[in-house]
């Protein structure tokens, strides 16, 4: 018996481009890739195919994980900076998209404005993948679900708490958590709450999966009952000019040992880069409950799964008999070599 193949649409711009079964399918495939159990590991399924990687924003994890992921699958990544491409400035987004479509088999773009992704996807028939926009960060959310499954097992009924700015990362987590039945709470200053449309969509999904989707504003009770606590920078790229304004507003929402005392067994996540001493204290980020580097690693596997599902023929890749229930792993070991001391 094989896992039913759940094809993705021709675009992956939002978590809601997938139904709950599609998310689980991707997570199972990402696990199989990570554990070497997928035929795609050795068969170079993207041989002869090219993927354009457009970066309007600088990147470490997104660029390296996508570039390495495409190469591991046998494809050719073509990396382009925003300045080189000039989306909407040097030439129209549509003209860029239609030109690239003649050369490459998929477009991955990390942009400031989500509307650019929509315009790219509307102009072409090849897959377009959101590698981050001001609205969502869906590939990050998939990696987050994968690492949480590894450490917690099934996610239905678990409690994830995101503390900080109700930004693109928080938005995708609300949608992803709702889709897998995971209770998800964003705790933030009232004026920095997640987009109302995103919250409404997540709550509607939660009604069907049993997930509680909440927004709260009290940092004192923020993490009570949490199985995992997640934070991100207070001022994202493009918001650097607001950093001084935001700092006093967000300072009560810093993730500290005092805050974590209300959930002493909770895992700690951060999508990185981190500002130790601002949104999270160093002794929490580098502490024994932190899984941030496991989380970062899973960007590679989750994105390889997305690439395969978007670019491969419709056929199953994994035998269900080889996919046991996710087993919780020891906390904070990640890819650390045996014998190497932990950070912190």
Residue of 110, 151, 254, 309 with catalytic role: 110
Judge whether 90 counts as a catalytic residue: no
> How many angstroms separate the CA atoms of 88 and 275, rounded?
32
Judge whether 299 counts as a catalytic residue: yes
Residue of 137, 149, 183, 270 with catalytic role: 137
Quote the DSSP letter at residue 17. G
Judge whether 140 counts as a catalytic residue: yes
> How many angstroms separate the CA atoms of 90 and 84, rounded?
9
Residue of 254, 271, 289, 303 with catalytic role: 271
From the list 228, 230, 298, 306, the residue with the least C-alpha distance to 265 is 228
Judge whether 232 counts as a catalytic residue: yes
Q: Which two tokens stand for residue 90?
A: 């040097």
> How many angstroms separate the CA atoms of 52 and 76, rounded?
9
Residue of 158, 185, 289, 299 with catalytic role: 299
Judge whether 146 counts as a catalytic residue: no
Quote the DSSP letter at residue 137. -
Judge whether 137 counts as a catalytic residue: yes
User: Residue 258: CB partners within 8 Å, gap ≥ 6?
Assistant: none
103-125 per-residue burial string, b: 16 or more CB within 10 A, e: under 16: ebbbbbbbbbbbebbbbbbebbe
> How many angstroms separate the CA atoms of 333 and 344, rounded?
13
304-313 per-residue burial string, b: 16 or more CB within 10 A, e: under 16: bbbbbbbbbe
| Distance, CA of 241 to chain centre | 25
Q: How far is CA 263 from CA 79, 162, 211, 250, 333, in A?
A: 42, 13, 20, 20, 21
Strands (E), 121-180: 128-130, 159-163
Give the active site residues: 110, 137, 140, 232, 271, 299
């Amino acid at each position: 018996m094989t896992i039913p193949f759940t094809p993705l649409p021709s675009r992956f711009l939002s978590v809601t481009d997938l139904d709950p079964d599609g998310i689980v399918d991707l997570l199972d495939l990402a696990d199989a890739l990570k554990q070497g159990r997928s035929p795609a590991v050795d068969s170079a399924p993207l041989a002869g195919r090219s993927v354009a990687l457009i970066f309007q924003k600088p990147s470490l994890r997104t660029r390296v994980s996508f570039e390495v992921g495409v190469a591991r699958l046998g494809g050719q990544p073509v990396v382009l900076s925003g300045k080189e491409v000039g989306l909407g400035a040097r030439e129209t987004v549509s003209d860029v998209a239609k030109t690239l479509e003649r050369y490459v088999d998929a477009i991955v773009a990390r942009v400031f404005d989500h509307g650019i992704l929509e315009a790219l996807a509307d102009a072409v028939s090849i897959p377009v993948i959101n590698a981050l926009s001001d609205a969502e960060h869906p590939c990050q959310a998939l990696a987050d679900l994968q690492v949480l499954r590894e450490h917690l097992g099934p996610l239905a009924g678990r409690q994830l708490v995101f503390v900080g700015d109700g930004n693109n990362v928080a938005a995708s987590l609300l949608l992803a958590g709702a889709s897998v039945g995971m209770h998800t709470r964003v705790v933030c200053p009232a004026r920095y709450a997640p987009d109302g449309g995103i919250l409404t969509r997540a709550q509607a999904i939660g009604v069907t999966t049993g997930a509680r989707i909440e927004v709260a504003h009290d940092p004192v009770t923020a993490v009570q009952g949490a199985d995992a606590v997640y934070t991100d920078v207070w001022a994202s790229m493009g918001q650097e000019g607001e950093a001084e304004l935001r700092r006093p507003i967000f300072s009560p929402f810093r993730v500290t040992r005092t805050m974590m005392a209300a959930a002493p067994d909770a895992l700690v996540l951060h999508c990185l880069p981190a500002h130790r001493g601002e949104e999270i204290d160093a002794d929490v980020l580098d502490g024994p409950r932190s899984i941030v580097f496991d989380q970062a690693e899973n960007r590679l596997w989750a994105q390889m799964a997305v690439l395969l599902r978007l670019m491969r023929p419709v056929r199953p890749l994994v035998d269900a008999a080889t996919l046991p229930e996710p087993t919780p792993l020891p906390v904070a070991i990640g890819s650390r070599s045996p014998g190497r001391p932990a950070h912190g």
